[in-house]
Amino acid sequence: MPTIFAPGAIAGTDDDGAAAFTPDGATVYFMRGTDSFTLMESHRDGDHWSKPKAAPFSGHWRDLDPSMAPNGSFLLFVSNRPAASGSSPIDAVSAGKHYAGRGMHLWRVDRQGDHWGVPVRLPDAVNSCSMTFAPSIAVDGSIYFIGCAAPAGNLQLLRSVYRDGHYLAPYAVKLGDAGMQIRDPAIAPDRSFIVISTKPTGSQQPYRLAIAFHTPTGWSAPRDLGDTVNGGKHSMGAQLGADHRTLYFYSDRRLPPSDPDATATWNNGADHIWQVSLAPWLDAHRAEH
């Protein structure tokens, strides 16, 4: 059964999502907002999380979807900030229409001692369209994300390999069937499994979390995590915790009236960060293989 993450300290009346943890699990970065997102930072002291504050590299542009490198040396995030100094925020382009300042590109910010450096936009090979988002980083440096795949240009799950200090042109990941719409990947550091949000293409059904495992012949069929995990109008923003066995995601689910916390101020239908152990699925897969 999923539980709310940091009730009272982080979970409140705001929309939150996409929790990215440092390797020691003592600091978390997440996005907050409904229209203009800011990346927030909170630190753990024992069982208590500090009051979130804007990350030092965020707070001016529309920033979302943080993802921590497994070794904590850098963080990827999504932003509409101008691709070049002095230019305008990135516009989104969809079906020939332009949406001012609503574009999304991937940016990287490196850890430099006890502080963060200056964010750098990833190359055009990765940011090939105005809608590039939801990165997740493997130990080998490769990134899984949602972006535009040739030749159709529709949004797909992509992977860009990191080699000799450069991100290579991404390719579409073969996962699931053609009728499946995939969003928000969370790749295991060793690429042994991946958690995604999925729904049938074109349907009005909620996005649901599913897990797939890497095999010698490619990715297994995604396995839905079930109704106990999936709830509300959507379950999205999958991220793995520092132990790589706890799943963090955001959902607008509400607690049932019978729950002792049903009257809590955060049980308000806003998006909050939830957590659940992946042990049942990981252990079952290991037992089967």
Query: What angle (nearest 5°) sits at the alpha carbon of residue 41, between those of residues 276 and 120?
Result: 110
Q: How far is CA 159 from CA 33, 66, 149, 187, in A?
A: 28, 17, 10, 10
143-163 pLDDT, tens digit per residue, is 999 998 765 568 999 999 999
The average confidence (pLDDT) of the chain is 93
SS3 at position 238: strand
In the numeric block, which tokens belong to residue 183? 């969003």
Phi (first) and psi of residue 227, to 5 degrees: -70, -25
Residue 177: which H helix or E strand, with range? none
Model confidence at 8, pLDDT cuts 50, 70, 90, reads confident
What CATH number is given to the structural domain containing 216?
2.120.10.30
In total, how many domains does the chain have? Answer: 1
How many other β-carbons are positioned within 10 Å of the β-carbon of residue 130?
18
Question: How many whole angstroms separate alpha carbon 34 and alpha carbon 37?
Answer: 7
Model confidence at 198, pLDDT cuts 50, 70, 90, reads very high
36-49 pLDDT, tens digit per residue, is 899 999 999 988 99
According to DSSP, residue 131 is labeled B
Sign of CA pseudo-dihedral 220, 207, 121, 187: negative
Lowest mean pLDDT among 57-66, 129-138, 187-196, 255-264: 255-264
Q: Which residue has the tokens 């909620």?
A: 206
Helices (H), the chain: 279-288
205-233 pLDDT, tens digit per residue, is 999 999 999 999 999 999 999 999 999 99
At 152 the pLDDT is: 58
In the numeric block, which tokens belong to residue 240? 């793995």
At 209 the pLDDT is: 98
Q: Which residue has the tokens 């599913």?
A: 210
Relative to beta strand 193-200, strand 208-215 is antiparallel
Question: How many whole angstroms separate alpha carbon 15 and alpha carbon 35?
Answer: 10
Model confidence at 86, pLDDT cuts 50, 70, 90, reads confident
**Residues of the domain holding 39:** 3-288
In the numeric block, which tokens belong to residue 202? 């074109």
Query: 96: left (phi > 0), else alpha (psi -120 to 50), else beta?
Result: left
